[in-house]
Structure 1
Amino acid sequence: MAFNYLTDDVEQQKQRARYRARQCVIEQSGRYVKINDKNYVNFSSNDYLGLNHHPEINQALAIGADKFGTCASGSSLITGYSYAHQALEHDICDWLNKPKCLLFASGFSANTALMQALGHKSSHLYLDKLSHASLIDGALSSEAKVKRFLHNDIEQLQRLISKNQQAEPHDDELNQVIVSEGVFSMDGDQADVANLAKIAKQHQALLYLDDAHSIGVIGKKGQGSSSLADIDVVMATLGKSIATSGAFVACDKNLADYLINFSRHYIYSTAISPALAWATKKSIEIIQAEHWRREKINELSKLLTEKLSQKIQLIENSSSIHAIVIGDETSTLDVCQQLRNKGIWLTAIRPPTVPFNSSRLRVTITASHEVNDINYLASCVNEVIQ
């Protein structure tokens, strides 16, 4: 029978405790999630700042729908680019101090599009080993020469670039791009942004950062990695801290013009909903003004670190993401289920998303959580992980 691999491969996933299945969320509001008629304290949400269901953002969405419609009705190069999109792009440029901004349907498509655009046959791409799958896919599908440096290993990155320049000493048009995440999605640790920017400047390379998990959370006004150094190209999603949907790329005019003319992901995709763009403007306004949300995440993150037993293998960091490493897939799934029995919703992260034997619980702390939530989580984790 044809296509046997469809069932065979899924069956192998089950045998290796790597099978994935969707869960239908009935309700989701800040701290809680309702799944299969049961309420859980939710520690798997990327709504880091707790802005989902914010009344002012909801109101802006409704106003945007009335003014511009719920659908863009075309790509940005036909009739899909509305005043709502333009106004949002201008706000993002002001926020991150960038000349140009383009909106994309998703972070995955934005990353893939940019890696292909910057991945010219004359280019060299240097990716952090833990870069998101969309960056890796985009880089490998480009025409560029691709190298991956060990996670946050600045010295190895420096050696790779120097070796490459020695091999091509007379190439005056050596196009080099350093690629990293601002905050890494599975470990929650932060890139050494200042040193990456320094190396990029030293070697006349571009620095590209996926700021999906930094935007909103890092910086006095939530500018993400842009608050730490001058980043040449910033990509960030709208569906996490910003609490809407889509993504943006902030860059210079030359790259923006190139993408508008040559990026298939941008040219042939329907623009994001103008109503969502209008709601996103309001969300970014709130993010810049309400620094207390970032302060609360830091306070609760510190509390979790203090309350967890020392026998728990926690990857400590200053972001919203806290990885509790357990090891093998079966044990991780077992711990996950025990916590769900206690009313805590966490997701087991397993290979190939993370390296073999480093399966983990990915805990996300948001501004919606309270001290009692963190105390309860720590108590339950200490109890079920022996």
Structure 2
Amino acid sequence: MIDPTLEFETALQGLADAHLIRKRPVIEAVDGTHLRVDGNTVLAFCSNDYLGLSQHPALIEAARQGALTYGVGAGASPLVSGHSAAIDALEHELADFVRLPRALYFGSGYVANIGLVPALVGRGDAVFSDSLNHACLIDGARLSRADIHVYPHNDLTALTEALQRSTARRKLILTDAVFSMDGDVAPLAEMIALCERFDAWLMIDDAHGFGVLGPQGRGTAAHCGIDSPRLIYMATLGKAAGSAGAFVAGHPTVIEWLMQRARSYIFATASPAMVGEALRASVKVIEQEEWRREHLHRLIARLRAGTADLPWEHPASPTAIQPLIIGGNAEALAVMQAIRQRGIWAPAIRPPTVPEGTARLRISLSAAHSEADIDRLVAVLHEVA
């Protein structure tokens, strides 16, 4: 009898041979910047908790009170059994915070994007997608069945030419606002101008800009000064906001359409109200505690100064995402393991997450880090190099 798992075993061995096997360490949080992994405490530069809010007492207390008031579950889809007063208030507060008319909450950024894109475009329409977009935007575009045009990373000339050639009924530009593996920022002001010129929509995924960039952390659209009814703004809430979920904001008619047509909203169980209460507390902290962003930007400058003479490429990034390009998969894993042995955890990112030949350490900084933490990281990197 043929072993039905043999095909998968062979494929897994192929991944292992290419140094592409992923593992899930079992972790235990010690504090905002330290984790216990396999019994050892490490200084972590692997989290997207950019403002250090996941351990904030105000968020923890808000979640506790939310659980006491509402319980820990939601029961059903929000269109079947309604959504909680906490999530309803959160949507209004998020819309006010990003200065857009209306917002809609989703359980995660991935869930949001695979539902939003197919709700916005379909057969006969066209999607224009940056070559370095996150997988959830790519998957959303594929699910839409629209014609997909991939343009080179942040290449406005190529994007303009593709828009000029298109005869599609509806045109949708998709882009990360801050790119998750490089930390660079999309030219959003120029892109919204192209939307006006070619009667297109711009949907941005601001997973890594919300809370970090813009006045009071209002995100990359605010950072770039965008104010247009053609903007569809999506941001996740499990990174700088320190909790879980995502939201989309924009023109009220567009948001109503998305609520009626996004399958990943319609058919998903609503999120617990306790998460909504934690996020309401988070929005207040993001808005009021400017020192967190100021401290984070000082840490970014300190790290970049310390890595200037390392043998690895350190692409320009004004954000908390600071990649060190190692090159080969095996080499990136070796560097990751060497710094782990010295008590530092920064993950090695390999294809298909990044292009072939650009395996890297993805160093993520947080306002919870200290200057001493940065100095320790720099010293270990020099020792390993």
TM range (shorter): over 0.9
State the distance in 1 between where 2:319 and 2:103 align.
Answer: 25
Match of 1:141 among 120, 143, 150: 143
Structure 2: distance between partners of 1:45 and 1:263: 29
Residue in 1 aligned with 2:377?
A: 377
- Match of residue 81 from structure 1: 83
Q: 138-147 or 304-313: which moved more?
A: 304-313
- 190, 198, 209: which one pairs with 1:195? 190
The residue aligned with 2:112 is 110
Question: Equivalent residue for 1:236?
Answer: 235
1:150–1:64 CA distance, 2 compared to 1 (3 A): same
The DSSP-based 3-state class of the residue aligned with 1:368 is: coil
| Matches for 1:327-366 after TM superposition, within 5 Å | 327-366=327-366
Q: C-alpha distance in 2, partners of 1:269/1:80?
A: 12
The answer to which of 195-204 and 240-249 deviates more is: 195-204
1:253 is displaced (CA, Å) by: 2.0
Q: Which of 24-33 and 291-300 deviates more?
A: 24-33
Question: Counterpart in 1 of 2:25?
Answer: 23
Amino acid at match of 1:199: L
Given the alignment, which residue of 131, 150, 160 partners 2:152?
150
Q: What is the letter of the counterpart of residue 101 of structure 2?
A: P
- Cα distance, 1:80 vs. partner? 4.1
Aligned partners of 2:61, 2:173: CA distance in 1, in Å?
40
Name stretches of at least 5 consecutive residues in structure 2 with no aligned partner.
Answer: none
* Residues 14-42 of structure 1: per-residue CA shift (max 9 Å, x gap): 11111101111122421111111111111
| 1:50 and 1:368 in contact (8 A); partners too | yes
Instruction: Give per-residue Cα distances to partners, 1:304-342, cap 9 Å, x unaligned.
Output: 111114233111210000000000011111110110011
Q: In structure 1, what is the Cα distance between the partners aligned to 2:150 and 2:7? A: 31
Whether the aligned pair in 1 keeps the contact of 2:120 and 2:258 (CA below 8 Å) is no
Distance across 2 between alignment mates of 1:80 and 1:334: 50
| Match of residue 2, structure 1, among 1, 4, 15 | 4
Change (3 A) 1:327 1:319: same
Runs of 4+ in structure 1 over 3 Å off: none
In 2, Cα distance between equivalents of 1:260 and 1:330: 45
Q: 1:204-215 to 2 correspondence within 5 Å? A: 204-215=199-210
Do 1:89 and 1:103's aligned partners in 2 also have CA atoms closer than 8 Å?
A: yes
**Whole-Å separation in 2 of the counterparts to 1:224 and 1:205:** 22
Partner of 1:261: 260
- The Cα of 1:255 is off from its aligned counterpart by 2.1
For residue 143 of structure 1, report the CA deviation from its aligned partner: 2.1
Deviation digits for residues 91-133 of structure 1, max 9, x if unmatched?
0110112222111111111011111111222321101110010
Percent identity, aligned pairs only, is 34
Q: Residue by residue, what CA displacement relative to the aligned partner does 1:150-191 show, whole Å, maximum 9, x if unpaired? A: 001111101110122xxx3xx7xx311111011000011111
Helix, strand or coil for the counterpart of 1:141?
helix
Q: Which among 27, 36, 39 is matched to residue 38 of structure 2?
A: 36
Q: How many aligned positions are there?
A: 378
1:177-218 superposed Cα distances (whole Å, 9 cap, x missing partner): 111011000011111111111111221211100000000000
* 1:183 counterpart residue number: 178
Q: Deviations over 1:201-246 (max 9, x none)?
A: 2212111000000000001211112212126111111110001111
Task: Tell me if the contact between 1:220 and 1:291 (Cα under 8 Å) persists in the aligned partners.
Answer: no
The corresponding residue for 2:215 is: 220
Which residue identity is paired with 1:325? I
- Whether contact under 8 Å (1:26, 1:36) holds in the other structure is no
Q: 2:175–2:204: 8 Å Cα contact kept in structure 1?
A: yes
Does the 8 A contact of 1:126 with 1:146 survive in 2?
A: yes
Structure 1 CA distance for aligned equivalents of residues 95 and 377 of structure 2: 39
Shift of 1:71: 1.0
| Deviation (angstroms), 1:134 | 0.8
Q: Does 1:245 pair with 2:244?
A: yes
Partner of 1:303 in structure 2?
302
AA aligned opposite 2:384: V
Once residues 5 and 344 of structure 2 are traced to their aligned partners in structure 1, the CA distance between those partners, rounded to angstroms, is: 39
8 Å CA contact 1:73, 1:80 repeated in 2? no
Question: Which shifted more, 279-288 or 253-262?
Answer: 253-262
What 5-or-longer segments of structure 1 have no aligned partner?
A: none
Contact 1:323 1:360 in 2 (8 A): yes
Residue of structure 2 aligned with 1:98, choices 97, 100, 122: 100
Query: CA–CA distance in 2 between the matches of 1:147 and 1:28?
Result: 45
1:181, 1:209 within 8 Å by CA — same for their partners in 2? yes
In structure 2, what is the Cα distance between the partners aligned to 1:5 and 1:352? 21
For residues 17 and 134 of structure 2, the distance between their equivalents in structure 1, rounded to whole angstroms, comes to 26
**Separation (CA, whole Å) in 2 of partners of 1:93 and 1:11:** 48
Q: Secondary structure at the match of 2:212?
A: coil
Contact kept? 1:32, 1:42, Cα under 8 Å:
yes
Q: Secondary structure in 2 aligned to 1:374? A: helix
Tell me which amino acid in the other structure corresponds to 2:162: L
Give 3-state SS (helix, strand or coil) of 2:128's partner.
strand
